[in-house]
Amino acid sequence: MSVLRIFCPLATAPTTCGWVLLDDHGGIQPGEGALAQLPQGATRVQLVLAASQVLLVRAQLPAAGKRRSTALLAYAAEEKMASDPDANQVGWLSQVDGDDVLVAFNRQQLRGWIDALGAIGLHVDGVYCETLTLPIRRGEWSLAWNGQDGYVRTGEFEGGATDCGDRQTPPLALQLLLEEARTRDAVPTSIALHPATPAAQPDLDAWERSLGVNLRLAPAHDWRIAPAMTGPRVSQGGQHHWRPSPAAVARWRSVGWILLAALALHSIALLTDRVRLGGEQRQLHAQMEARFRALFPVAVAVADPVLQTRRQLAHARHAAGQSDAGDFPVMLGKAVAALSGVQGAKLHALSYEDGRLTLEFMDPGNTLARQIEGRLSQAGFDFEVPQTARRPGHDTLTLTLRSP
């Protein structure tokens, strides 16, 4: 995954900047120039804010306000800031020793940089503070020093820019931080000093006497050559214009193709099954039609072989002087025999037409209605209950019986 890291001095107009491109193979390509000349196509774009333009501050927040109200966070940091709280973007980073650690920077200045980068096709994925990119060990502070000023990291989520100093005198801000740490019994065992150049290295003995803390020389720290971004992210960047990373798009594109292929295979299987069932239905209908024509060759047209066979069979029985199961006397006899043991069933009306016997009962209630339907079903009747059989306000139950 390639990363384009851009140093963002908020106080200046978004026209030029320093940058570094970390490619997929671990290569590092630093550069500096106009925004329009920034490399394109990086997987992620990160902004690094100058230490002097970011405030990291401790505050006491009510439990219900943490990470929720931006207005509450802004006013909680107001005491430490010289500007209007409404002009700042304040976020909650973590909790240290019972205190809440907040990060604050100018909202409009950051938005100007994000919009300028967006205009050239670069989407900011995360915003980091230069202070929190310094490496740090447990029980030790880290100080980046250019010979005149610098920035110090005093904890995982704490630190800030220092004021001026010289070769013999450490910055006053660092001395004040140590005095405050002594009141909390949190003085570091040593301070790792990262001079920007050999010429920027101060007199270690003079600084140690002034600070009362041991100093340890460490390699120069530069965000440009850092192999990976360290420290917490202080903002989501262009969070109002979110877009997935190219890697996520590629991953979900593969998943989408798999789902699309599965859906296509499923649709083909359903279509094949429907065609097969349709063919079997037509074949079965053709067989029944052929059987009907073989039995009754004088028939002119065949629409429903089953119904027409039943009617022809009834006609043949009647011609032979025999009764059919669909005749009125036969159906009525079966219905009476089936309902003879049902107590409370009161027949209100009865009608017969073309093999259908319709019975209308005085409203028997749900229990007795289920009993009537069960007895008729056991007797071999097929029956249907019309939609209007149990209309509210009507006291009848209507059943239409058919002989199987």
- For range 186-209, the mean pLDDT: 94
What CATH architecture applies to the domain 323-402?
2-Layer Sandwich (3.30)
d(CA 89, CA 47): 15
Q: 395 to each of 322, 335, 348, how far by Cα in Å? A: 39, 21, 10
Which range is least confidently modeled, 2-16, 78-92, 176-190? 78-92
Q: 286 to each of 35, 214, 225, 296, 326, how far by Cα in Å? A: 78, 101, 82, 15, 26
Contacts of 37 (CB under 8 A, 6+ apart): 31
- For range 314-340, the mean pLDDT: 81
Which range is least confidently modeled, 143-152, 257-266, 363-372? 363-372
For 252-296, the pLDDT digits (tens) are 888 889 999 999 999 999 999 999 999 998 888 888 888 878 877
- For range 140-162, the mean pLDDT: 93
DSSP string, 252-321: HHHHHHHHHHHHHHHHHHHHHHHHHHHHHHHHHHHHHHHHHHHH-TT-S--S-HHHHHHHHHHHHHHHTT
For 82-120, the pLDDT digits (tens) are 556 567 788 788 888 878 888 888 888 999 999 999 999
The residues spanned by each domain of the chain are 263-317, 323-402
Residue with the larger pLDDT of the pair 250 and 379: 379
